[in-house]
């Protein structure tokens, strides 16, 4: 039964339909149909409104829930805001406390600044008075300082280096000279071996130069030494050749050590004479200080290496290595570089012994050729030492192959005694042949 129709209306309708004739039923059927349709339309409308009411009710409930949640969130937000405000209020109170402390500290600092300013003015005035006193005494102090400096310059006895330091430097230089001579001897032996293998023969010009160089070498070391060296080279040995190379380099170092002024013998002799006078008439400390001061002003003049290089080239010519252009040029270039290096090293040793060792006279030295062998001041370059040293006392030396170090010691009576701290090695003629 459609909703919305009362039971009375339905009963009356049904009774009337039963009493009325069939024709009335025929006539009322369309009206009932229309009424039924209206009833159905109304029912559908009521259903729609009922659904709408349900939707509205649900929306109202949703709005109520949202309002409740919003209220809870608002309460939470308000509580959080209260907490933040409480924290900010606490920070504000702390900041005000710190500001008050800073203000109090600023006031105290300002008072301290005023006190320090007043003290600074007082000290500035005191400083000005002290500066005036210092300026008044400055000229007197400067004159006293100059007098004391001059006195100390000639009374200094403590040096930066010792005799043992000089000896160590000289031994290192000797070792380098020995190594250089060995390298040159090895190059000569290689070049002469190649000459023999290739059947190389010198031209007339080269032979004339060889004879001239041999003559110059004979004037220096003697014909017997030069002939023995040439015979030794023919046999492939370079021992005497290397010893002569060492002798040239060592004597060059000794020449640099002994010279005051390089390149001018007259000036050098005059300075040497002055040094002898200063050394003989003054205390060792004063004399050595004079020598150190003089050397410090003269050392800017560098020695010329052309003479020693020329002597080494003579040895290379006689050995035959310079006649091979490539090998000769290489060995000659190597020798020039090593000579520069040795010159620099011996100048350093000279400066060390003259300016670094004060209060004592110490220097590197070597023995000239032709002297008799003295085992107290010399060492045989190829000997073994021991008791046999005395047996060579009557033998003559060809020359020195290494530098030594000597020290001049003052004695009580004013004299001077020479002490050999490092014996130079020397080349004995008998080392190579009994005929020398």
* Phi, psi of 206, deg, nearest 5: -65, -40
pLDDT of residue 402: 95
Domain ranges of the chain: 1-124, 161-259+303-358
pLDDT in tens, 114-125: 889 988 988 888
> Is 176 a residue whose pLDDT tops 90?
yes
- Would you call 236 helix, strand, or coil by DSSP? coil
> Is 256 a residue whose pLDDT tops 80?
yes
Rounded distance between C-alpha atoms, residue 33 and residue 80, angstroms: 69
DSSP state of 322: G
pLDDT of residue 392: 59
All residues at 6 or more sequence positions from 436 whose CB lies less than 8 Å from its CB, including other chains = 222, 224, 225, 228, 398, 429, 430
- Would you call 371 helix, strand, or coil by DSSP? coil
Give the residue, 43 or 31, on which the prediction is more confident. 43
Give the residue, 338 or 64, on which the prediction is more confident. 338
Q: pLDDT band at 425, cuts 50/70/90?
A: very high
pTM for this predicted structure = 0.62
pLDDT of residue 151: 55
> Which has the closest alpha carbon to 349: 252, 245, 247, 253?
253
Average pLDDT, the chain: 81
Percent of the chain with pLDDT over 70: 83
Judge contact between 399 and 221, C-beta under 8 A: yes
């Amino acid at each position: 039964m459609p909703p919305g129709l009362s039971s009375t209306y339905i009963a009356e309708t049904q009774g009337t339909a039963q009493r009325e004739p069939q024709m009335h039923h025929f006539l009322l059927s369309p009206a009932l149909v229309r009424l039924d349709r209206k009833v159905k339309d109304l029912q559908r409308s009521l259903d729609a409104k009922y659904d709408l009411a349900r939707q509205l009710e649900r929306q109202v409930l949703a709005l109520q829930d949202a309002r409740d949640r919003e209220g809870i969130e608002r309460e939470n937000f308000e509580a959080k805001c209260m907490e933040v405000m409480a924290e900010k209020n606490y920070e504000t109170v702390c900041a005000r406390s710190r500001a008050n402390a800073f203000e109090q500290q600023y006031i105290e600092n300002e008072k301290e600044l005023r006190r320090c300013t007043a003290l600074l003015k007082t000290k500035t005035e005191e400083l000005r008075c002290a500066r005036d006193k210092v300026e008044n005494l400055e000229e007197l102090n400067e004159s006293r300082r100059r007098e004391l400096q001059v006195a100390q310059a000639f009374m200094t006895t403590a040096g930066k280096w010792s005799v043992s330091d000089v000896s160590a430097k000289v031994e290192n230089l000797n070792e380098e000279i020995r190594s250089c001579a060995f390298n040159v001897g090895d190059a000569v032996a290689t070049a002469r071996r190649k000459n023999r293998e290739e059947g190389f023969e010198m031209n007339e010009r080269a032979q004339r130069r060889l004879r001239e160089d041999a003559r110059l070498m004979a004037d220096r070391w003697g014909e017997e030494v030069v002939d023995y060296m040439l015979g030794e080279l023919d046999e492939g040995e370079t021992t005497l050749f290397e010893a002569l190379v060492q002798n040239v380099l060592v004597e060059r170092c000794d020449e640099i050590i002994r010279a005051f002024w390089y390149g001018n013998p007259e000036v050098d002799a005059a300075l040497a004479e002055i040094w002898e006078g200063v050394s003989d008439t003054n205390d060792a400390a004063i004399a050595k200080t004079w020598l150190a001061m003089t050397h410090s002003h003269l050392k800017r003049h560098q020695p010329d290496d052309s003479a020693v290089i020329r002597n080494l080239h003579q040895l290379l010519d006689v050995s035959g290595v310079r006649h091979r252009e490539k090998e000769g040029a290489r060995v000659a270039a190597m020798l020039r570089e090593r000579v520069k290096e040795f010159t620099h090293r011996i100048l350093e040793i000279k400066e060390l012994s003259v300016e670094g060792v004060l209060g004592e006279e110490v220097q590197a030295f070597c023995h000239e050729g032709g002297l008799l062998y003295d085992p107290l001041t010399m060492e045989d370059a190829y000997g073994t030492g021991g008791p046999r040293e005395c047996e060579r006392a009557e033998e003559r030396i060809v020359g020195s192959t290494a530098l030594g170090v000597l020290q001049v010691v003052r004695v009580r009576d004013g004299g001077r005694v020479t002490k050999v701290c490092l014996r130079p090695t020397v080349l004995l003629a008998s080392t190579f042949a009994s005929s020398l």
